[in-house]
Amino acid sequence: MTMWIARTKTELQKHLASLPRPIVLVPTMGALHPGHSSLIDLARKHAGSEGSVLVSIFVNPIQFDKSTDLENYPRTEDEDLNICQSHGADGVFLPEPSEMYFKDLSITVTENLLSEHLCGATRPGHFDGVCTVVLKLFNLTRCDAAVFGEKDFQQLAIIQRMVRDLDLQVQIVPHATLRESDGLAMSSRNRRLTPEQRADAPRIRKALLTASSKPSAEEILSTACEIIEASTLTKIDYLTLVDAETLQPTDKITHSTILACAVFYGDVRLIDHIKTSD
Ligand code: AMP
């Protein structure tokens, strides 16, 4: 069957009318890479051959705290649609911002605990934007399940909390992080790195791997910091140890402690994390 594309909510509703359940959604911002395609593959596994896989491609303006980051976000629509088609998506929802948001939008979703630190601290309003768009996508697609990558582990934890706290009837299916062969976590933003920055960027993963085996919080943080800052190209946005459940900073190293970082290469911000027991 050929894959359909809906650019408006009305078109989407027409397609949904005849869409077999379960409906499994893969929300993305496009510029798809193999990390995204593996999410689509997992969605297909979850939906089964009878069910339906939907991909949404929407660069959500309200989750960007910097307008330059929004403007520079890579957009590769034709390639994205080919990837969705070749991975067996049934349909793609590809709205414009004006289709998603009224000019006088006045109700948004706010998470108050898990978003306090990490990306939530350095990107004010980011997770309000994420929660709001994800809730709208859940409502619009009436999906039974949705696949999210563990690469954005704070986002995944917050979405799971939103589902719990707002009684959403959507099963959240996590997917492990896909990496390049040199260890760099795949990201749409990687394509904005210069060749020199790209060659340097695997140090983020190396720093986390080397640091995570150290015995104390102090040594973990100083080791990771040293390796990342040994490059003249990097600027650390944050480097923090948090508890995996609460996402609150901790200096106790247990099986559920996560070392997480965001690192700038120029204006390109990359994130990664590791369990300290890995
Ligand atoms: P994005 O388009 O960056 O908003 O990402 C859309 C979805 O793909 C999110 O659930 C991300 O966590 C997930 N994702 C992005 N990069 C990767 C990766 N390298 N491995 C697995 N999932 C990923």
Q: 230-250: per-residue pLDDT in tens?
A: 999 999 999 999 999 999 999
Q: Are residues 164 and 57 in the same domain?
A: yes
Q: Are residues 57 and 103 in the same domain?
A: yes
Q: Is the CB of 93 under 6 A from ligand 1?
A: no
Domain count, the chain: 2
pLDDT in tens, 82-138: 999 999 999 999 999 999 999 999 999 999 999 999 999 999 999 999 999 999 999
Q: Is the CB of 28 under 6 A from ligand 1?
A: yes
**Is 183 within the bounds of a domain?**
no
Q: Are residues 23 and 152 in the same domain?
A: yes
Q: Are residues 85 and 112 in the same domain?
A: yes
C-alpha of residue 1 to centroid of ligand 1, in Å: 26
Q: Are residues 166 and 192 in the same domain?
A: no
pTM: 0.98
Domain that holds residue 220: 188-273
Nearest-atom number in ligand 1 for the CA of 36 is 8
Instruction: Judge whether 91 and 3 are in contact, CB under 8 Å.
Output: yes
Residue 278: the pLDDT is 57
pLDDT in tens, 118-127: 999 999 999 9
Sheet (strand 52-57) strand order: 4-6, 91-93, 52-57, 23-28, 145-149, 171-175
Q: Is the CB of 129 under 6 A from ligand 1?
A: no
**Which residue among 153, 175, 197 closes a domain?**
175
Nearest residue (by CA) to ligand 1, atom 12, is 149
Instruction: Judge whether 90 and 52 are in contact, CB under 8 Å.
Output: yes
Distance (Å, whole) CA 7 – CA 24: 18
**Which residue among 108, 141, 175 closes a domain?**
175
CATH number where 245 lies:
3.30.1300.10
Residue 266: the pLDDT is 98
Distance (Å, whole) CA 230 – CA 50: 52
C-alpha of residue 120 to centroid of ligand 1, in Å: 17
Residue 1: the pLDDT is 72
Question: Could you confirm whether 117 is annotated as catalytic?
Answer: no
**Is 35 within the bounds of a domain?**
yes
> Which residue bears the tokens 């996508």?
137
Residues forming beta bridges with residue 263, ordered by sequence position: 236, 270
C-alpha of residue 218 to centroid of ligand 1, in Å: 30
Residue 277: the pLDDT is 74
**Is 181 within the bounds of a domain?**
no
User: Is it the case that residue 29 has pLDDT exceeding 60?
Assistant: yes
